[in-house]
Amino acid sequence: MIEEGRALFLQIAESVEDSIVDGSLPEEGRAPSTNELAGFYRINPATAAKGVAMLVDKGVIYKRRGIGMFVAPGARERLLAERRAAFADRYVDPLLAEARKLGLGAEDLTDLIRDRAAVPATTPEGDAR
């Protein structure tokens, strides 16, 4: 799970966010503690604490004194909205820019996406994935 070249605390925060988005950490459900994250990933607790603090600052999780960390109400929708916006910035905007260069309109793109979604993806060798 841990990737070289990316800050560990960001990876920890993203992992918790992924669990919230996929529903394995439900809203108002108990989130892993700093010590649990540090133990699971075998990292320094200060690094895990930095990832947790980032999530607290974003309003994704909150602390109940003496009880632990919990997923904030509305966290899943907030994260989905954030990820949709990032998806549009990272993928849709460049797609649209290239489509304009090629003279493709919205209907052309829709047809291309529909066609590609209907056919199993293949590797460069021609094998289905």
* Beta pairing, strands 30-31 & 61-64: unpaired
What is the pLDDT at residue 4?
A: 79
pTM for the full predicted model: 0.77
Higher pLDDT, 129 or 96: 96
Rounded to an integer, the average pLDDT of 30-40 is: 94
Angstrom distances, CA of residue 112 to CA of 6, 102, 118: 34, 13, 10
Higher pLDDT, 47 or 123: 47
pLDDT digits (tens, 9 = 90+) for 55-111: 999 999 999 999 999 999 999 999 999 999 999 999 999 999 999 999 999 999 999
* pLDDT over 70, % of the chain: 91
129 band by pLDDT with thresholds 50, 70 and 90: low
User: Which residue(s) pair with 30 in the sheet?
Assistant: 70
5 band by pLDDT with thresholds 50, 70 and 90: confident
What is the pLDDT at residue 127?
A: 59
Q: What is the DSSP string of 9-75?
A: HHHHHHHHHHHHHTTSS-TTSEEPPHHHHHHHHT--HHHHHHHHHHHHHTTSEEEETTTEEEEPTTH
Which residues, 6+ apart, have CB-to-CB distance to 72 below 8 Å? 27, 59, 60, 61, 62
Residue entry with tokens 């974003």: 58
Long-range contacts made by residues 56-61, C-beta under 8 angstroms, separation at least 24?
A: 60/16, 60/17, 60/20, 61/16, 61/31
pLDDT > 60? residue 123: no
